[in-house]
Amino acid sequence: MKFKMLLALILLCFVSAVSGFGQSAEEIMALPDSMAMAPPAPPSNVRGVDTDNDHGHSITLTWETSPDDGAGLNNVIGYKVFRAESPDGPFIERALIPSGGTGHIDVGAKEKDANDYLPDHVGFYYKVRAITADSLIYAESEVFGPVQSYGQWFNTGRVPVLVFVIFFLFVTLFFIQKAKGGANLFVRRLAGIEAVDEAIGRATEMGKPILYVLGLGTAADIATIASYTILGRVAKKVAEYQTGLIVPCYDPIVMTVAQETVKASYMDAGRPDAYYEDMVYFVTQSQFAYVAAVNGTMLRERPATNIYMGKFYAESLILAETGALAGSIQISGTDEIAQIPFFVVACDYTLIGEELYAASAYLGREPLLLGSLKAQDYAKAAAIIIAIIGFITMNFGIEAFKHLFYVSN
């Protein structure tokens, strides 16, 4: 340790003397003049290739560091990358890389009129300059080129994803076919969904409405789409039992879909007359204003049951606690992981994550949907098997298996 420190110190004295900073008079005297001005050795072996798996307009460069980077004269503080369209120049500076760097990806713009436009299929020449603290002292590598950039048609880095997409599609189609063929598919009980029917019955007895909250998702959230199905089912039951239904919405597009869904359910139940448009209404597209309004509705209308299904954020607990205060039965479901704990704690029944998506299949009992649920379970089994194999190989020091799952950009 001490020896190392001493060595480092000696080295440092050298370095600072060479780079021309902060040395005392004696040190300068002690060193030969030529060394203080000596340029570093140049970086070597500069290579450039087209960057893989992209849309062109990019070249990947590599080089070996100067022998004076971190050793030797130790005066290299970084590298500058230069590019030209012919081996004789003119070269333009493209990047500055700190010392120790051995590569750079030269990404240019796609647009012709952009400043740093990097056309595809044009030969370029590169050189790398090792720079020192003194801007006049540097060393340049040999020029490398020509190298062309071009776009790929397929991103090989994402093959693992593609494999899984195909596997999934195949398994889903297989089980849908099987289900169509009349195979009996079992689905376990989902307490949260079973409770819905019961809760509607209770609301009817009490003569109070049901509040259905679709959450803060937009029309594009999968959780919202899953929620429509459950809303359809609830609306149908409500129509049959002639209970009230309140659906305040956060997103205008979600509102339009919800209106269609509820209307269709009332038609289905044979009670189109009982449907009126203001059952489903827009509140505002602001998180806490929406919560304020729904809270008010809960305390004023005193719904017998509150159902929260969809995407929820911080408001989950505000809604659920206010609902509990109003004495309503509460059923919730969300795929927002951070909010599940709050629903679990404050609601009577909660669909945890994936259960929300399964609910639509569970309710529909349609062979097609059940088939896809079965496929999902097989994928889960695959996940478990992969995890076990991965765990074993990892512990025997085989890294190759893990690399199979490596997805590059």
Least separation in angstroms between residue 34's CB and other proteins is: 21
3-class DSSP assignment, residue 279: helix
Least separation in angstroms between residue 259's CB and other proteins is: 7
Structure tokens at 128: 């790398």
Binding segment (CB under 8 A) for other proteins, from list 26-34, 80-88, 201-209, 278-286: 278-286
The yes or no reply on residue 116 touching other proteins (CB under 8 A) is no
Structure tokens at 407: 């997805």
The yes or no reply on residue 244 touching other proteins (CB under 8 A) is no
Which of the residues 6 through 65 are near other proteins (CB under 8 A)? 8-9, 12, 15-16, 19, 21-22, 53-56
Least separation in angstroms between residue 218's CB and other proteins is: 7
Q: For residues 7 and 317, give the distance between their C-alpha atoms in angstroms, rounded to a whole number.
A: 62
Contact 261, 249 (CB under 8 A): no
Using CB under 8 A, which of 141, 243, 330, 372 touches other proteins? 372
Question: Nearer Cβ to other proteins, position 41 or 225?
Answer: 225
The yes or no reply on residue 252 touching other proteins (CB under 8 A) is yes
Which of the residues 189 through 208 are near other proteins (CB under 8 A)? none
Question: Nearer Cβ to other proteins, position 89 or 296?
Answer: 296
Calculated CA dihedral for residues 320, 325, 326, 327, nearest 10 degrees = 90
- Torsion sign across C-alpha atoms 198, 203, 205, 206: positive
Q: For residues 106 and 110, give the distance between their C-alpha atoms in angstroms, rounded to a whole number.
A: 13
Q: For residues 271 and 27, give the distance between their C-alpha atoms in angstroms, rounded to a whole number.
A: 98
Which of the residues 120 through 179 are near other proteins (CB under 8 A)? 133, 151-155, 158, 160-162, 164-165, 168-169, 172, 176
Question: Nearer Cβ to other proteins, position 132 or 141?
Answer: 132
Which of the residues 258 through 277 are near other proteins (CB under 8 A)? 258-261, 263-265, 268
Contact 95, 13 (CB under 8 A): no
Question: Nearer Cβ to other proteins, position 143 or 171?
Answer: 171
> What are φ and ψ of residue 68, in 5° steps?
-95, 15
Using CB under 8 A, which of 204, 229, 330, 332 touches other proteins? 229
Question: Nearer Cβ to other proteins, position 62 or 155?
Answer: 155
Q: For residues 10 and 4, give the distance between their C-alpha atoms in angstroms, rounded to a whole number.
A: 10
Q: Kindly state the helix (H) or strand (E) to which residue 223 belongs, with its residue range.
A: helix 222-241
Contact 234, 264 (CB under 8 A): no
Question: Nearer Cβ to other proteins, position 48 or 78?
Answer: 78
Interface map 297-326 toward other proteins (x if CB under 8 A): --xx-------------x--xx-xx--xx-
The yes or no reply on residue 100 touching other proteins (CB under 8 A) is yes
> What are φ and ψ of residue 50, in 5° steps?
-65, 140
Packing angle, helices 252-268 and 222-241, rounded to 10? 40
Using CB under 8 A, which of 270, 281, 327, 408 touches other proteins? 281
The yes or no reply on residue 366 touching other proteins (CB under 8 A) is yes
DSSP 311-349: E--THHHHHHHHHHHTT-EEEEEE--GGGHHHHHHHSSE
Question: Nearer Cβ to other proteins, position 22 or 90?
Answer: 22
